[in-house]
Amino acid sequence: MTTELTGLTALDLLDGYRKGEFSPVDAVRAVLARIEETEPELNAFVRVDAEGALAEAEASTRRWRRGEPQGLVDGVPVTVKDILLQRGMPSLRGSKTVRVDGSWAEDAPSVARLREHGAVFVGRTTTPEFGWKGVTDSPLSGITRNPYDTSRTAGGSSGGSAAAVAVGAGPLSLGTDGGGSVRIPAAFCGIFALKPTYGRVPLYPASAFGTLAHVGPMTRSAADAALMMDVISGPDPRDWSGSAPAAGSFQDGLRGGVRGLRVAYSPSLGGQVAVQPGVAAGVRAAVTRLAGLGAYVEEVDPDFTDPVEAFHVLWFSGAARVVQHLSPAQRELLDPGLQEICAQGARYSALDYLAAVDTRMALGRRMGLFHSTYDVLVTPTLPLTAFEAGVEVPRGSGVRRWTGWTPFTYPFNLTQQPAASVPVGVDGARLPVGVQVVGARHRDDLVLRVAHALYEAGVAGIAPPVVA
């Protein structure tokens, strides 16, 4: 029973609770046992709250026995990236510079909504320091490893969440994404993740990375992500930049399939990106299946040049702002790579920043026009599969920063579009491959629908990893 429960989706768990086949206590005990089995190898958690989780599960079990569930995810085990505030839990953000003894009295909006709907909070997942890079290691918590090959990275910055979901340590996790940080580890760890349209999921406190930063679900399926979006989306008065409520249920929006949709397939952004053959083959197979399901697929590129320099100005200056209050002694405790980008970010001028904003606006306009012709854009999530753990870039790659190997992800943080990573198989080394589905702003429902169609067709989803 324990192994079976950790392999279920959130929707499967809810169905079991409803039928009385098992209880939230059973599910949480199974998840805690799975964490104990896998955590020494993976290092996906900075904190596990077994006592609190069991108490919440017991309360949920009583509600289900009365036939009075509290909300849409009552009794479902959830994990939270250690960037987002969670009442009663330190949010250390992967840094030795954050004090543990704060008040920690407030939930982030997404955490608050999950709590209102009865979710069971199991633990806090690892992040690189302040979520600054595309892999997950930090001075505070060390290296988080890939459940498919523990010599390799889980990706980042939401790497702990991805690894946890992949091994069955809770079917739902909250991550953040400023340049690919839910999609990168989802692709490396073989799970689903959605970066929603900016503002669709409210964020508080505001990120120093500004409107690049999104909050999104990391799950075992697109259907679970839609469930989670029905809980965490919608306005919160603490987020001045949040959007209005969605027009309808994201779960209802999964229906309809892809017949008649106009799909743009860009295998390499017009030859700008060298993609590993195993990744290219997996993505092409998924696109072929979309065509077989009735979508109109055209191989076409969105025709933009790499906006990495503009992204660096925005990202590095945001990092400099994150650490601006630290003393020289505290700065010595930071990840050396973070120290480097903060120094670079502090040298940019206001005019440099505004020029980057101009680039961003031009890219947003280009993609807005692109989606007047095409419903979704499909690309690889990443051009490669998971590489060696403990390094920012693959050895011998010739790139300096993590943005050098993530060219498909960060452009869509600049444009604020919804983008998902869907697991569509493995390469020759049995490492997961992800396909990215990008929609026009505010069309999160369409991104989820396309992804769900791939799951329904048996193209998405891969065998779970064998760890411990």
Catalytic residue numbers read: 81, 157, 181
The whole-angstrom separation of Cα 97 and Cα 333 is 7
Cβ burial 59-85 (10 Å sphere, 16+ → b, else e): bbbebbeeeebbbbbbbbbbbbbbbbb
> Minimal CA–CA distance to 432: which of 403, 396, 460?
460
Instruction: Bin 233: left if φ > 0, else alpha if -120 < ψ < 50, else beta.
Output: beta
The whole-angstrom separation of Cα 313 and Cα 134 is 17
Asked if 211 contacts 322 with a C-beta cutoff of 8 angstroms, the reply is: no
Phi, psi of 301 (to 5 degrees): -110, 150
CA angle 387/392/394 to nearest 5° reads 40
CA–CA distance from 132 to each of 102, 128, 158, 179 (Å)?
22, 6, 10, 9
Other residues' Cβ atoms within 10 Å of the Cβ of residue 14: 20
